[in-house]
Structure formats: C-alpha cells, structure tokens
Structure 1
Amino acid sequence: MRVRGAGELPREVRVLSVVAFMVALGFGIVSPAIPLYARAFGVGTTAVGLAVSAFAFFRFVSAFSGGALVERLGERVVLAAGLLTVAVTTGLAGLADSFPLFLGLRAAGGIGSALFTVAALSLLLRVAPPTHRGRAAATYQGGFILGGIAGPAVGGLLAELSPSLPFLLYAGSLIVAGGFGLLFLRPGKAAADTPAPAAGTGDAEARPLTLSAAFRSRVYLAALVAHLGVGWMLFGVRNSLIPLYVVEELGRTVAWAGVGLLVGSLAQALGLLRSGRLADAWGRRPSLVLGASLATASTAVLVLPPATGAFLASMAVFGLSASLLSSVPAALVGDLSPARGGRVVAVFQMAADLGAVTGPLVAGWLTDVASYQLAFAVSTAVLGLGLVAALALPRAQSSAAPASGTPAAAPGAAAR
C-alpha cells in the first residue's frame, strides 16, 4: 500500500500541532509556580496537592459534557472556548488574594482544558485520512512534547522573578493559541478519503458513532485500556513517584531524577518521528503490541533491585513506548468513529485522565504501606492489561479499508 508523505497531512493537523506546542509551553511555564504560589497563602502540603489535583479532577469530570458540546457546536468553537476559559482563569489565579479563590479558579481551568482537549482531538481524528491518522496523532503529540520540554526550565526562572508572572504569561500564550486556531482552522472540513459509513448507519457526519456501539468494539476497549496506562504511568506515576524513587532508593540527587525524565522525554520525541508512520504503514495492532510490550517491560525493570543504569534505561525505553501509546490508540479511535464523535473521543480522553488521577494515589499509598517495588509492580500490571488488550485486537488486511457491517464490527478492519 502506498502511503502519502507527511507533508500531505491536512493543514488542520499542523495548526493543531502549533496550538498544542503553545499550550504545552505555557503549561510547562506555570507548573513549577503552582506549588510555590499556593504555599505563599500559608497552607499545608495537602492543600498544595489539592491545588494541583483540582485542575485534573475537574478536567476529568467535565470531559464528557465537552464531547456533547463538540457534537452540537463543532470542534472549532469549543476549542476556542476552552482555551479562553483556561486563559481567563489562569490569569485571574495569578492575581488571586486568597487560597479558596485560587483553588476555585484552578478547578474552573480544568473545565476549560477538557473542552480544548476533546475538541482538538476530535477535529484531528475527523480531518485526518485513515492512511495518515497515526502520523497526524504523532505530529499533534509532538507539539505537546516539545512544549513540555521547553516550558518547565523557563517557568522555574520566571517564578524566581515573580510568582504571578508565569500565570500571566500562560494566559497570554493561551489567548494567542486560541486566536491562531480560530484564524487558521476551517470549519466543517472532513477527510476526503474517510471510509464509507457502515451499512444502515446513514451519513457519517450526521450520525456520530454512539457510545453503546463503541463499547461493543474490542478496538475501542483496547484503545481505552492503553490510554488508561498512558495516563497512569506517563502523566501520573512517572511525575509523582520517580523523583522520590531516585532520591530515596537510588540515593541520588533530584538532578538525577530530572536527567531520567529528560531522557524519557527526548526518547519519546525521537520515537514520535517514526511511531505515526509505523501505525499507518505497519498497522495499528502490531504497533500497539510493540508499544505496550516496551512499556510493560520498561516498568518491570523498576521492580528489580535499584540501579542507576537500569533506571535510565527504563526511562529511555518507556519514552519510546510512549511515542507509540500516544499515537496508536488515538488512531484506533479515529478509525472507529471518523465522523464528529465528541463523546466517543471524550470517554477516550477520560481514560487517560482517570489514570493520571488514580495512578499517583494508588502508587503513593502502596509505597507508604509496602515498597516502591510493589508500586511499580502494580503499575506494570496496569500497562500489561494494555498489552493483553492489544493482543486481543482482530486482524485485517488494511487499516484504511472501508468499513462494513455494524458499527461495532467495522472497527475490526482498522486494527490489523
């Protein structure tokens, strides 16, 4: 099968990637300042943690409503509204004069983040042709990764100058990103070679795939389980437990934790250069199996007796696996619901958010009552579930073949 070059990705993919970079850059800038700003109100460590988790919690609980808005109003409007909401609440949070006000604004920002994320991913999967969905998802994730690498270093310096400055700069970057998206994203465009809708389902654009049909598909369930593992380890445990593990188990300084996380991020960024092409040309199923296998194996290394070399190798291999797990599950969801499927995409995003919220809590509790090794063993099991789900995916000749049959059966042709 001949696959078009990356230069032929729809313009919307490149625009969304730029928006993702600006959002991640701003979030990285503000992240180091959030604990310091909250602590300045004289609150304890638990309250500081609440200020961090409130954003993630409200992002999780509002994602499904965001999906319904996408189906009603369209991705472009909801995306801009979400960015504007986060911009306003973040800017005001940087000027808040009490901790309850700061906490409330952080929670409201999580709602805006959910609107943006669901709308952006829904639009990305709708405009990308089946032969390019893996590369589209990888390009989009690449924007987040590059912004995420650059942001924290800048944010730490700015927080030293003024605790409010990172919040104001983040708000400004979101306003620019929202304006950029409104200006360059064209409403109503869909992939020209999207597969024909399944028999009896009517027009794909008019009738998005229902959640009940999606949940009857092994493809969708595999995407959910894999995305749960991404949230659990990549967005949760890696950030919360790894720094403590390096200091308390490896006996190294915090700087070594930063080195490990940087190695993982760089490996993920390099992996994204090829992961999308693998998903499109090699197939969704083998790519997901490879990603889930690498993720499971790399986390299992941390269950072994502590060793600095093994830790760095684990971070590098996990970064490579994350490049596949960040793009292949999204491509599977796009194959499953090529029409505007806001709620299908919303639940997919909620799976990662659920992992990001519960992973640090469960792993932290296991570390307190038992050991780091048990916490990493449970994390390995969560990632292993993704491998089992990937191996259970049906096989087919082509991920771009037109769907046939019922909506629940058609996605089997997308897995390979």
Structure 2
Amino acid sequence: MKLARRLRRHIDMPRDVLVLGMIAFFVALGFGVLVPVLPTFATHFGANDLMVGMVVSTFAAMRLATSPFCGRILERIGGRITLAVGIFIVAISSSTMAFAKNYWWLLGWRAAGGIGSAMFSVSAMTLLLGSVPARMRGRASGFYQSGFLIGGMAGPALGGLLAKISIVAPFHFYALTLAVAGTLGLAMLTTSTTHAADSSAEKIARPLREILADTRFQAACAANLAQGWNSIGVRSSLIPLVIVGGLGLTPTWTGIVFAVAAVVQTIALAPVGRFVDTVGRRPAMLVAGAVMAVAIMGVPLSRSIWPIMGIMCVYAIGAAAMGTAPAASVGDATGGVRGGTPVALFSMSSDTGAILGPLAAGALSDQFGRPLGFAAGAVLLAFSSMMALRMPRQKFSHQQ
C-alpha cells in the first residue's frame, strides 16, 4: 500500500493502474527468466527442434483457445479474482514443470499455463481500461506496458544466472514472482471496473454487436493482429536469423539489438501515451502502422548491424504507439464497461498473429527469400494504418 501511495504522488495515475503496472513487472520478470532455459530444458527429454517449438507455441495456442471464455468468467467472479486465479494457475504450472519426468508432462503443464495467462491478460486489460476516464487511457496503457517491458528486460539476464545454480531454478523463481503478482492483485486492486469520473452515458454497457461494428474496435483488433504477427512473431523468428545467419554475427548481438530497442520503447511510452490522449488514437495508429511497416522491411535489406539497430529503435517507437493507442481505442469502444468479451477478442487477435506470424513468415522466407517473409508482416501493418483511417476524428484534452 505504501509503495502504491509513493508512486501515485509521482505519477498522475489511479491506484489500480499503479498496481497493475507492478503486477505486469513481476509477471514479465518471471516470464523473462524462463525464456533462456525452457528450450534447453525440453531437450533434456530428447525433444527435437519441432518439439521444442511445440512447447513454446502451445502456451500461445491455449491462450487463444481460452480467451473466448474469459469474458464469462470475468462477469461471473469479477476482474480481481479472475486475474489472481489466472496468475496462480500459471504459477502452479511453472512450479510443476520443474518436476517433469518426460516431455509430455512438460508440454501438458506448459499448456495449462496458457489457460491462466489468458485469464490474467483479459482481466488485467479490462480492469485497466475501466479504472481510468477516456482522457487517460493512452497514458494508463503506456504505464502498464512499461511494467512488462522493464520486467522483460531484466528477466532473461537473471534467468541465465539462475540457470547456473540449477536448470530448474528459473521455473521456481517464475512461480515465486507470479505468487507475488497474484497476491498484489488480491490485496490491492479494487473490485470496481468503472471509473467514477466518467459520464453517465459512458457507463451504460453497449451491446456486443455495437462494439464489434465500431470502427475504433475494428481498427484496434487489426493493429493488435499486426503487432502480434510482427513484434512477437517475425521479430523473434526472422530477425535473429538475419543477424546470425545473414551477417555472420553471434547471438549476443541479437540480444543487444533487442535490449536497446526495448529501452527506446520504454522511454517512448510516456510521451506516446500523452500523444494518444491529446492528439488522438487515430493519428497515432495511422503513423505507427506506416512507420513500423517501412522499418520492418529495412531489416532484411541491411548489410551491417548498425542500420538494423537504428531501424529497430525506430520500430520500437512505433511499437510503443501500437501498445497504447489500440488498447485505448478498445476502452473508447466499450466505454470502459462490459469489457470482458471485447477485450478477450482484442487479445485473441494478438495471439492469432503471434501463432501464425512465425509459421507464415518462415514458410515465405524458405520459399522466396527473407525479404518476402518480412513483407507479409509489413502488409499487415500497412493494412492496420488503413483501418485507422476509418476511425472517427477524436481527441481528449486534460481538462475533459
């Protein structure tokens, strides 16, 4: 409670936003710790490259399969309880994976973690969008994303150190950080999901069919699909191949490029969030999609590491906008009310991109060369910009 009060004095955000940012940090820290060791741990059971890939992708696949049910769960037991239960499911699955006796045990418990992750993701975003008025949704989304980015930057380095102690130590550490996050959610989040400062009209729940027909929601889902395809999928699968295979550098350089880009994205989140809340969601999504499309196409055409690093920093600024403006647009479309099912659909669009992106980009790259593998993602980003053109012109002043 004291930590939340201190943060609130320095950051003009409601308490729930601060708490969700802290929860995001602990979740991302633990997830990042697991990243360096999970593939290696799977090979201990004789897993080949395809089987290792299944361990990674089954988590996202179960998130996608579970997300449609999260809205009903949230409406039945509330956002705070849904978030905590989801986090504790992932914690139990992580700890249990450390005791896996064979590959299928590992795969099964990893899949169970995806179920809990979907519950956490949908409820956290629903609580976030419902805890702030429209004029603050961009900045709130940016603060929440910064928790993930900071935790994600620290996690892999810590995971490498823990792996020197024991290959299973990161699994238990992940469970511990998740237990902390779940406890924070239960103890510090409020049960209300509607900001009291919003107008009475905005508090009225819109029918789902109206939300689905809203151009703001449609553009947000298109942007999230493109973001999942590129930032989660293509970025993780093809860019390391360009750096290591194309330029002949060590994997360390991939980590350096990603770390520098993550720092740039974290720094950009605050000013981008203010831009989204004052200038508007529409211009932010329009420019971000175009900038990211051009940037991602520059990666396979680069002939040294320095242009790639610069390109990824530019891409990171666009990604900061794509991490804030679409989420704020979902809040606008729902009015911060009845967000469970729409937020689940929004989350599913990103998961769909993250699952299909690496497969499609890899197949295109194998058959026609890496530039075409990147081009497919660039087309989706350009499409998201065109979808943003259909959004109403809208901005929110701080006096609103």
After TM superposition, give the deviation of residue 121 of structure 1 in Å. 0.3
1:45 to 42, 49, 53: 49
- Out of 180, 183, 194, the position equivalent to 1:179 is 183
Amino acid at match of 1:243: P
Instruction: Give the aligned residue type for 2:27.
Output: V
Instruction: State how far apart, in whole Å, the 2-side matches of 1:110 and 1:397 are.
Output: 36
Aligned to 1:392: 390
Query: In the TM superposition, what are the counterparts of 1:167-316 in structure 2 within 5 Å?
Result: 167-197=171-201, 204=204, 208-304=205-301, 306-316=303-313
Q: Which has the higher helix share?
A: 2
3-state SS in 1 of match to 2:248: coil
SS at match of 1:347: helix
- What's the offset of the Cα at 1:368? 1.2
Q: Residues 132 and 398 (structure 1 numbering): CA distance in 2 closer, same or farther, change over 3 Å?
A: closer
Instruction: Say if 2:80 and 2:189, in contact at 8 Å, map to a contact too.
Output: yes
Could you tell me which residue of structure 2 aligns to residue 330 of structure 1?
Answer: 327
In the TM superposition, residue 369 of structure 1 has moved relative to its aligned partner by: 1.2
Aligned residues: 392
**Offset of residue 399 of structure 1:** 7.6
Partner of 1:83: 87
Scaled by the length of structure 1, the TM-score of the pair is 0.90
Unmatched segments (≥5 aa) in structure 2: 1-8
Moved more, 181-190 or 31-40: 181-190
In structure 2, give the amino acid aligned to 1:359: G
Per-residue deviation, 1:219: 0.8
How much does 1:117 deviate?
A: 0.4
Q: Distance in 2 between matches of 1:332 and 1:323?
A: 15
Give the conservation status (yes or no) of the 8 Å contact 1:303–1:374. Answer: no
Match of 1:10 among 14, 22, 29: 14
Change in Cα spacing, 1:306 to 1:372, as seen in structure 2 (3 Å) is farther
Match of 2:361 in 1: 363
Post-superposition offset of 1:334:
0.6
- Secondary structure (helix, strand or coil) at the match of 2:301 reads coil
SS in 2 for 1:251: coil
- Letter paired with 2:354: A
Higher mean Cα deviation, 347-356 or 6-15? 6-15
1:413 maps to which residue? none
TM-score w.r.t. the length of structure 2 is 0.94
Moved more, 5-14 or 149-158: 5-14
Alpha-carbon distance change, 342 to 362 in structure 1, aligned in 2, over 3 angstroms: same
User: d(CA) in 2 for partners of 1:254 and 1:397?
Assistant: 43
Q: For 1:327, what is the secondary structure of its paired residue?
A: helix
Q: For 1:86-101, what aligned pairs fall within 5 Å after superposition?
A: 86-101=90-105
CA distance in 2, matches of 1:242, 1:61: 28
* Aligned counterparts of 2:396 and 2:241: Cα–Cα separation in 1: 45
What is the CA–CA distance in structure 1 between the aligned matches of 2:22 and 2:47, rounded to whole Å?
37
Q: What CA deviation, in whole Å up to 9, does each residue of 1:272-301 have, x standing for no partner? A: 121111111111111222222221121121
- Cα offset, 1:376, TM superposition: 0.9
CA distance in 2, matches of 1:186, 1:126: 11
C-alpha root-mean-square deviation of aligned residues, in Å?
A: 1.9
Matched, 1:26 2:30: yes
1:116-164 per-residue CA deviation (whole Å, 9 max, x = no partner) reads: 0000000000011111110000000000000000000111121232111
Residue identity over aligned pairs, in percent, reads: 39
Q: Are 1:70 and 2:74 matched, yes or no?
A: yes
- Alignment check: 8 A CA contact 1:246 1:252 kept: yes
Quote the offset at 1:189 in angstroms: 5.0
